[in-house]
Chain A
């Protein structure tokens, strides 16, 4: 058998024959590839004439083939799978073999190469996975932050409500006490008065009777009938007289008893009531937020913001137009990027949507990857996302303007989603659908560069709500693979190693998502509920979505659910669908990580729940359809809604503080408002919905799905429901109607909110109902989505946009005016309020404010943190913080677009760089801002908004709220140009004050600010300028000359910013990144980094401080290249008399001259050995009369050129004699015009007169003092000390002008005071500064100079790094230091 097999083995490939060809010599070989290039028989070396048509012209060895077949039969081995295939050349290794298309490289390659590529992919996945893992903590951090925030929010709110209760009690008590007291007083008064009166009455009666009796007696008996003596008569008379007198005099003081008790109040009762009614306000600390809420009583407090609402800033028009072309550009871009979006119809349909969905987090993360692999793609993504958000924002805007609620919903939602959603993944699930599509792009990008079929990323895969990252475990493919591998493992343990690893690798990727999910899911119940929700949401989504888009990634919520739902929709069989869905079900067989398992189970549960939900929803839907009537529908909805609500409530109630729930509630409220709603024509609604999907995506991933649903589903059954919802949204169209409705709604909202949670629940129910009407099962998330949907819809209509924009601006203005620390929140609130106003008029204002106040109140507790908190409230007034951010960001987007359109595109690289990490992003932002500011003075808002937007995005994740705020702030101000100034100050303050900022944050912040300030400056002139200075100072440097710096920066601008050539050219040089101010080397290494502080710092400060100041990079010139302003191995630098900077651009064989600001002035010289030609010149010096003295290194000569660069003379040639050189390097000149040349290979310094006459030399090869080993650079101080970088001795030597050694310092090493191949050197003032590749500053006292010299030590720098000194002090300023 063995021999038999041997007979069937081709001698060349040592494999079984494949298509054996028989040579005339009777030897057989495989046709391919063994006979390729065959000349002689490999076995017998017989030469054969190759047939005309090639080796296949040889007859096939049929016998052998029979044997092969026989063998196959006998052994039962599988036939060669490649039989029948034709070999091709592998496009990678160009071996001939059976090729198949590799998705990695998109070429047809052989299996070996494919395996290699797969390995690469696996490795990359592993690597990225590691990155993901490493970065995952950020999400977790933010999760904890969110939790913390929610907690604090709750605490805050409870404390506030307790406070309010307390106040209420107190007021109540005071009122009661007082009332009782007053009542008692009155009673007392009454009784005493009565008593008095009664006694008086008695007395009077007595008197009357007495007098009467007297009278009677007198009448009767005072006659003569009775004998009275005189005394008696006299007395009687007196008595009567007295009586008369008494009667006469007696006067009842009527007045006394006539007076009434009056109840008078110290204050006007009306006012008092007012006061009491408005006895408290809730202030929400959102920076700059103007909102004021009234407490329990209905009395509304007018927020300042409301007033502003009516004003329409000029901006909106611009915005609008921008948005239009923004959209267009987006679309274009999308098309370009087809790869990403491709396959997802939705994405192409609504570019903004896609972009919008991209979760910043996700994008960022992947962004890194992108950068690496794809350069520009990143940028696109970013842009897209930007656009998306922008567009979303636009939509939001419009929505805002028209219906604040809607806007709110949208905004918050979207924001939330993107930023936070992962948290609330469950809720988000419904949204996932849309996001999914978006996310697809990302994932794709991750795995492949181009379009290709996505196997893992299929529609049914669960996706992270924020990032849209698919959960690999859910992918049917993955499951299948895992299962297979498991089975295989069982069967034969030796099963392919490759696949399992692959899967595993993938799994890790997935894991993060998982974790996210897990994290988000706080407890099982909530999860389940969410799952239900999501399921429900998903179900409707599926229903609505057209069949064509099924593939489109439905995000997370379980494609299973989607599938089910789809089935459900088609028929009521959802239940069956569940089990049937293969992907969702199968728990991953081999759970590599525990996390996975949990997710799997979760998924299952969620699926089940979702199924239920879906079924419910489907039922409801069916009901609706059948019913057609809203009423019947409503009932069904209600039930569904209530169930949903219940679940939501739980979720919300749970400490988890699901923003989603809060959002839901808010959404509910908004929905309520809508519900009051004006009736829209179904058509309109439809239109809107349709439009919404496109736009909405940007707003929030969640929103899109719903919108879709709505659009598709809206068809007949939903219309009634929609009408309600839409009413609020369609403010522009049916503004008046809406107004009324809105007002009502608002009132309702207010009441409900103020009253209690129960009301909230009611509202939720209502909202739920409404939502249910639309999509019966959509949970609060759905509601919010609806809102968001609205936004997009509105966005579409230009009017809407305008209004919205105006509203926005107004709101911003208002907020700024109010001077609240205006946070995004504030702005959000403002916008909402403002929105209301415009649409609703004055009356609305109160309502708006009230709504706002509600939200505010709630959110108030958690001021800073509490984007999340605010987000909760957001629904009411648009979720403030995040949402606002988002909205802003979206707004911000427009500027970008504008910029783009304007032709000020950012280089893709920049964009991409921005995103890789929050930090980098920031930096990018900075740059961008600067650019924007600069370029964009014409666009009023664009820049700032954009910036803001970016900030907003970044901020949520990054823990610098202040920055955010500031940026936010800035944006707000920008939006309204007029306000800009005042705001800018605010912004500054806020930034400065913010303690939370991390240092980096501050820096960046500052930088951003500065750029912003610049922008302002451009716009507004001096004042801004001051700020600019300040900001720049804070951000970049605290140098006294900050303003100048800033100015310089301004002037230098970006154009001058090049990467340092050296950095690019050599890694060694790169050690100190050009930007790092602390590393002098970097500067040196860098093409030319000017630490201009040297320039700026005058003699006044102490040398040390001066010196320290020097290490700051002032600016940087050049990048690698040969164009003017670029360098290739700059090796020498000098300062000309007018502070120009002269650089010996060694490998470009030229000298370049820059002015003091680094602006290219001129160049001269070219390669060669003629006059004025150079060959790798090294040192350059400029003497007092401006002549250039150049060490023409490879020509072994010194050339002197006049100030205009014309050749004057040359001296020297190669050799060791006096006046000859061997690779002269450093060169300098002293005050007397002597020229000092480092004759490097001769290990000496030669001194010449300015005309080239040899004067002297010193140094010889060696390491003793006074000896030199490859001296590189030389400098002469103003005290006529000659400082030489004795490079190979790793030291600096100082000579006097006669060549006597004064000092030697430094030794090899990397400690302070040690060097490694120092090269550059330059005296600065009295200090010596050695530069070198690794020189650090020296602090040792070096005697002759007596100043501080700080040792700089760098790491190893390549020998002779060719740059001369660029340290802070490169060249002394104004010649005060430099001896000419």
Chain B
């Protein structure tokens, strides 16, 4: 295990010192590249009030490649599948080394408030979202209440 790159250290420090509102990212005790993330559901979204747990892992070549992020808390979202995988461009091809953990998490938070059923990952959810958004939002709220609020 090589030492932690300076950038990760800096980012971590900054995350600790100036946490982003609504987002907490804490590195794992045993692996500084692994972060336990909690993102609050953004206001005015079906996920409002929920606390969503994510895991974030900085790969070996970070920041040259994107961090791996996954929802642990179940979430009803067209761009997030049952396994918590996130369909977000900056986590894929749009990754830029100028992005940081905080920006990524902010993007994810933004994704919660702006689902994009046109680029779905969870097809059934996306379908419902497109066909019957109200129903979908209800479902999302229900899921949020069920999975993201009790803890």
Chain B 90-133 per-residue mask, 1 if CB under 8 angstroms from chain A, else 0: 00001011111000000000000000000000000000000000
Which of B3, B7, B99, B100 has most A Cβ within 10 Å? Answer: B3
Asked if B3 and A112 make an inter-chain contact with CB atoms under 8 angstroms apart, the answer reads: yes
Asked if B2 and A112 make an inter-chain contact with CB atoms under 8 angstroms apart, the answer reads: yes
Is there a chain B Cβ closer than 8 Å to A1071's Cβ? no
Asked if B98 and A11 make an inter-chain contact with CB atoms under 8 angstroms apart, the answer reads: yes
Is there a chain B Cβ closer than 8 Å to A995's Cβ? no
How many whole Å from A163's CB to the nearest CB in chain B?
72
Is there a chain B Cβ closer than 8 Å to A43's Cβ? yes
Asked if A115 and B3 make an inter-chain contact with CB atoms under 8 angstroms apart, the answer reads: yes
Is there a chain B Cβ closer than 8 Å to A93's Cβ? yes
Is there a chain A Cβ closer than 8 Å to B27's Cβ? no
Chain A 14-54 per-residue mask, 1 if CB under 8 angstroms from chain B, else 0: 11000000000000000000101100111101000000000
Asked if B96 and A42 make an inter-chain contact with CB atoms under 8 angstroms apart, the answer reads: yes
Is there a chain B Cβ closer than 8 Å to A276's Cβ? no
Asked if A93 and B2 make an inter-chain contact with CB atoms under 8 angstroms apart, the answer reads: yes
Which listed residue (B2, B14, B94, B98) contacts A12, Cβ 8 A? B98
Query: Which residues from A are CB-within-8-Å of B94?
Result: 45
How far, in whole Å, are A40 and B99 apart by their CA atoms in the complex? 13
Asked if A14 and B7 make an inter-chain contact with CB atoms under 8 angstroms apart, the answer reads: yes
Is there a chain A Cβ closer than 8 Å to B5's Cβ? yes
Is there a chain B Cβ closer than 8 Å to A92's Cβ? yes
Asked if B64 and A36 make an inter-chain contact with CB atoms under 8 angstroms apart, the answer reads: yes
Chain B 4-17 per-residue mask, 1 if CB under 8 angstroms from chain A, else 0: 11110011001000
Asked if A14 and B11 make an inter-chain contact with CB atoms under 8 angstroms apart, the answer reads: yes
How many whole Å from A722's CB to the nearest CB in chain B?
60
Is there a chain B Cβ closer than 8 Å to A87's Cβ? no
Query: Which residues from B are CB-within-8-Å of A41?
Result: 96
B52-92 interface (Cβ within 8 A of A) = 63-64
How many whole Å from A55's CB to the nearest CB in chain B?
13
**What residue in chain B is nearest A45 (Cβ atoms)?**
B96
Query: Which residues from B are CB-within-8-Å of A15?
Result: 6-7, 10
**What residue in chain B is nearest A14 (Cβ atoms)?**
B10
How far, in whole Å, are A11 and B2 apart by their CA atoms in the complex? 23
Asked if A12 and B6 make an inter-chain contact with CB atoms under 8 angstroms apart, the answer reads: no
How far, in whole Å, are A40 and B11 apart by their CA atoms in the complex? 22
Query: Which residues from A are CB-within-8-Å of B64?
Result: 36-37
How many whole Å from B75's CB to the nearest CB in chain A?
28
Query: Which residues from B are CB-within-8-Å of A113?
Result: 2-3
Is there a chain B Cβ closer than 8 Å to A13's Cβ? yes
Question: With A12-B63, A15-B10, A37-B64 in contact, do A95 and B5 touch (Cβ < 8 Å)?
Answer: yes
How many whole Å from A1348's CB to the nearest CB in chain B?
52
Asked if A116 and B7 make an inter-chain contact with CB atoms under 8 angstroms apart, the answer reads: no
Question: With A13-B7, A14-B7 in contact, do A95 and B98 touch (Cβ < 8 Å)?
Answer: no
Asked if A92 and B2 make an inter-chain contact with CB atoms under 8 angstroms apart, the answer reads: yes
**What residue in chain B is nearest A115 (Cβ atoms)?**
B3
How many whole Å from B59's CB to the nearest CB in chain A?
13
Query: Which residues from B are CB-within-8-Å of A43?
Result: 96, 98
Asked if A116 and B96 make an inter-chain contact with CB atoms under 8 angstroms apart, the answer reads: no
Asked if A12 and B3 make an inter-chain contact with CB atoms under 8 angstroms apart, the answer reads: no
**Interface size in chain A (residues, C-beta < 8 A):** 20
Chain A 1206-1244 per-residue mask, 1 if CB under 8 angstroms from chain B, else 0: 000000000000000000000000000000000000000
- Range of interface residues on B (Cβ < 8 Å): 10 to 19
How far, in whole Å, are A92 and B94 apart by their CA atoms in the complex? 30
How many whole Å from B10's CB to the nearest CB in chain A?
4
**What residue in chain B is nearest A93 (Cβ atoms)?**
B2
Query: Which residues from B are CB-within-8-Å of A92?
Result: 2
Asked if B97 and A34 make an inter-chain contact with CB atoms under 8 angstroms apart, the answer reads: yes
A37-91 interface (Cβ within 8 A of B) = 37, 40-43, 45
How many whole Å from B102's CB to the nearest CB in chain A?
11
Query: Which residues from A are CB-within-8-Å of B14?
Result: 14
How far, in whole Å, are A95 and B5 apart by their CA atoms in the complex? 9
Query: Which residues from B are CB-within-8-Å of A12?
Result: 7, 63, 97-98
**What residue in chain A is nearest B63 (Cβ atoms)?**
A12
How many whole Å from A31's CB to the nearest CB in chain B?
14
**What residue in chain A is nearest B10 (Cβ atoms)?**
A14
**What residue in chain B is nearest A38 (Cβ atoms)?**
B97
How many whole Å from A883's CB to the nearest CB in chain B?
53
How many whole Å from A118's CB to the nearest CB in chain B?
11
B1-56 interface (Cβ within 8 A of A) = 2-7, 10-11, 14
Query: Which residues from B are CB-within-8-Å of A34?
Result: 97
How far, in whole Å, are A42 and B66 apart by their CA atoms in the complex? 12
How far, in whole Å, are A40 and B94 apart by their CA atoms in the complex? 10
Question: With A14-B10, A37-B64 in contact, do A42 and B97 touch (Cβ < 8 Å)?
Answer: yes
How many whole Å from B149's CB to the nearest CB in chain A?
35
How far, in whole Å, are A92 and B2 apart by their CA atoms in the complex? 8
Query: Which residues from A are CB-within-8-Å of B99?
Result: 42
Query: Which residues from A are CB-within-8-Å of B7?
Result: 12-15
How far, in whole Å, are A254 and B102 apart by their CA atoms in the complex? 145
How many whole Å from A119's CB to the nearest CB in chain B?
9
Which of B11, B14, B63, B100 has most A Cβ within 10 Å? Answer: B63
How far, in whole Å, are A93 and B2 apart by their CA atoms in the complex? 6
How many whole Å from A5's CB to the nearest CB in chain B?
12
How far, in whole Å, are A45 and B93 apart by their CA atoms in the complex? 11
**What residue in chain B is nearest A94 (Cβ atoms)?**
B2
**What residue in chain A is nearest B13 (Cβ atoms)?**
A14
Query: Which residues from A are CB-within-8-Å of B97?
Result: 11-12, 34, 42
Asked if B3 and A116 make an inter-chain contact with CB atoms under 8 angstroms apart, the answer reads: yes
Asked if A42 and B6 make an inter-chain contact with CB atoms under 8 angstroms apart, the answer reads: no
How many whole Å from A166's CB to the nearest CB in chain B?
77
Query: Which residues from A are CB-within-8-Å of B11?
Result: 14
Query: Which residues from A are CB-within-8-Å of B3?
Result: 93, 112-113, 115-116
How many whole Å from A498's CB to the nearest CB in chain B?
13
Which of A14, A34, A36, A113 has most B Cβ within 10 Å? Answer: A14
Query: Which residues from B are CB-within-8-Å of A116?
Result: 2-3
How far, in whole Å, are A115 and B7 apart by their CA atoms in the complex? 17
How many whole Å from A272's CB to the nearest CB in chain B?
90
How far, in whole Å, are A36 and B63 apart by their CA atoms in the complex? 11
How far, in whole Å, are A95 and B4 apart by their CA atoms in the complex? 11
**What residue in chain A is nearest B6 (Cβ atoms)?**
A15
**What residue in chain A is nearest B100 (Cβ atoms)?**
A14
Asked if B96 and A95 make an inter-chain contact with CB atoms under 8 angstroms apart, the answer reads: no
Query: Lowest 5 A-B CB distances belong to which pairs?
Result: A112-B3, A42-B98, A93-B2, A11-B98, A42-B96
29 contacts between A and B (CB under 8 A): A11-B98, A12-B7, A12-B63, A12-B97, A12-B98, A13-B7, A14-B11, A14-B14, A14-B100, A15-B6, A15-B7, A15-B10, A34-B97, A41-B96, A42-B96, A42-B98, A43-B96, A43-B98, A45-B96, A92-B2, A93-B2, A93-B3, A95-B2, A95-B5, A112-B2, A112-B3, A112-B5, A113-B2, A113-B3
Give the B-binding residues of A (Cβ under 8 A).
11-15, 34, 36-37, 40-43, 45, 92-93, 95, 112-113, 115-116
